[in-house]
Structure 1
């Protein structure tokens, strides 16, 4: 075995001893597991109107986009979705990417460079962290969801070009950033605010327009919104929404946009159908809120430390990485899929079960899922 392979094997053994081995688990199309691990919050991934729109586009355009957006990958389906997203989010323009990860990398890199001070919430998603690290900017990690701490950091760097980066609903614990208060600080310090709205889009705000809209910040010229299209909208892709000048800059210079193959038109058309449904889906949002309350009540009564969800994601602390893995596997063996989050996915080094709620699950299945989670606890 070559030396580099031996080094990888040693690293794999170290991860295994720490309970940090990860495993791919392919699922069949007819999988009957109750899904509290995926991100299909509103149950739209298999909605008949979404499937029909995607199928029609598949027949019209073929399987793939066949090229990057600037070569042959842009279609009228992409343009229509961007128009709808911009209107929904209250932004001047929107730009669609093939993933939320690439959208975040592209947005952070576009807004920061060697002379910029990037301030990143301690609990930010890996895509935002990677965007900060690759930007060439000076990066300061800020205490979690703390406007006063942010103000102190900005006061210590007067006259700097600054950008503050945060999620709205955080992807592990599901808590909501105090966006209005954070914006008051960034606005007073002439600082851009970039918000990853991935876990709030479709759930919070009027017509589900997200956490930024719910905080009254939609369309603000100093607020940039990113999101994935793979959660409440049930599809795939990402979006950056904001002033036209930013979108122009991303099209002209953004490497994660220019050099990436466009998302397939069928997926784009399906997401656009899901967006139409989502805007009128107050009934599904109400189910999600009720299920969040039910989950917290059931697990708290059973003695588990549970985060209070702002939208559709919450977490339950596990004794350690191996215990979290065993807990998740035991639930799966009984037909319930839950997320198992271990370092480095967790921001504080602890391990959790992450539950992502789904308004499309039958009530009796949801009730049974909560019972199984309690019964399988280590």
Structure 2
């Protein structure tokens, strides 16, 4: 291969990924000259355009834009430590570490925890960041059928080792279903393993206090549990955080390469996330989200949506062309819900991934449902 023009094999047209050139405007998104109502965002509480969150970021921007260095050089602003303590206290853990993104969090975390002597046990539908983290760690990988804790237990029984980690998403991003965290932690206790839960889509959206799937007595803060969360979804900002014991977090400060060798998050994003946390803790937006979610689910009970009690509401289509056709139809009628196709999801399971947020109104949900019924 002489140059980059023939480095990759040609990608079939139906598998090509294209960036959607878009501009967000609150609940709306401008795509290809159309202003569409956004039903695809992970901004579950509408905090990315909340006035208080925006004001928090603007105040920090008056001092600087970038952080200027990694946290271990000169980018470790006091606001990072303050937010880490607030998150640890809120979620019920001893300590917290803020890093650049969810992808960086999981890649670096698994490389720091695991090596070729470690056995990892992963749900087959885990997010790519967890999949790649396992690969880069060099650990011996075992994958169990989605949510099948019985199969996981058999794998644990057959593969004893001194270092073992069970790895799972909390809320699964494409299906909207949830891991059984209680059972996973019981298995971790019985088989003396660690448990890593990435609850990026659950924190801020799930549970009575919106703390996510681990907000169960005896789970949050357990010494065998490590939890990853993000600011880029319900918090409306950017960045990620890891929760665990003081010893774990101290070890990550020394070993997590994706934190050590990355520029620290800009203070404006930290200020926005800290403001968002205060809003999440009040519970008003989370309450509106739950109301809207129940309202939507009641309106589509007879439509072929996949089972989900989270803001992620997938409509399984199957064929790629049919999914693209449905997405195009919705766009023509003022709604943005792009088709999700392989390889993001398994072959034959193309879908439309609807997301319900606290910022939507009942009238907007009614209009969406009417549009869907006219096509299905």
Q: 1:72 to 1:354 in 2, by over 3 A?
A: same
Q: TM-score, normalised by structure 2?
A: 0.92
Aligned to 1:88: 90
String of CA shifts for 1:117-140, please: whole Å, max 9, x gaps. Answer: 000001100100010111000000
Q: 1:136 to 1:269 in 2, by over 3 A?
A: same
Q: TM-score, normalised by structure 1?
A: 0.92
String of CA shifts for 1:284-334, please: whole Å, max 9, x gaps. Answer: 323323333333343342x42x12223211211113122222222321232
What residue ranges of structure 2 are gaps of 5+ in the alignment? 30-34
Q: 1:107 to 1:7 in 2, by over 3 A?
A: closer
String of CA shifts for 1:178-233, please: whole Å, max 9, x gaps. Answer: 11011111110001100001111012235211111247410100000001111110
Q: 1:213 to 1:342 in 2, by over 3 A?
A: same
Aligned to 1:197: 199
Aligned to 2:359: 360
Q: 1:339 to 1:272 in 2, by over 3 A?
A: farther
SS, match of residue 293 in structure 1: helix
The structure richer in helix per residue is 1
Would the aligned equivalents of 2:319 and 2:348 in 1 still touch at CA under 8 Å? no
Mapped partners of 1:66, 1:353: distance in 2: 40
String of CA shifts for 1:73-122, please: whole Å, max 9, x gaps. Answer: 21112111111111111111111111111111122222211100000001
Q: 1:149 to 1:24 in 2, by over 3 A?
A: same
Aligned to 1:177: 179
**Aligned 1:156-167 pairs, distance under 5 A:** 156-167=158-169
Are 1:140 and 2:142 counterparts? Answer: yes
CA RMSD of aligned residues (A): 1.9
Would the aligned equivalents of 2:99 and 2:264 in 1 still touch at CA under 8 Å? yes
Aligned-residue offset at 1:376: 4.3
Q: 1:328 to 1:2 in 2, by over 3 A?
A: farther
SS, match of residue 34 in structure 1: strand
String of CA shifts for 1:148-203, please: whole Å, max 9, x gaps. Answer: 21111111112442100001111111111111011111110001100001111012
Name which of 18, 37, 41 aligns with 1:38: 41
Are 1:321 and 2:320 counterparts? Answer: yes
Aligned-residue offset at 1:50: 0.5
**Aligned 1:40-59 pairs, distance under 5 A:** 40-59=43-62
Higher mean C-alpha displacement, 334-343 vs 366-375: 366-375
Would the aligned equivalents of 1:34 and 1:361 in 2 still touch at CA under 8 Å? no
Would the aligned equivalents of 2:296 and 2:365 in 1 still touch at CA under 8 Å? no
Higher mean C-alpha displacement, 210-219 vs 191-200: 210-219
Q: 1:103 to 1:288 in 2, by over 3 A?
A: same
Mapped partners of 1:164, 1:317: distance in 2: 29
Aligned residues: 368
Are 1:225 and 2:227 counterparts? Answer: yes
SS, match of residue 271 in structure 1: helix
SS, match of residue 214 in structure 2: helix
Aligned to 2:371: 372
Aligned to 1:330: 329
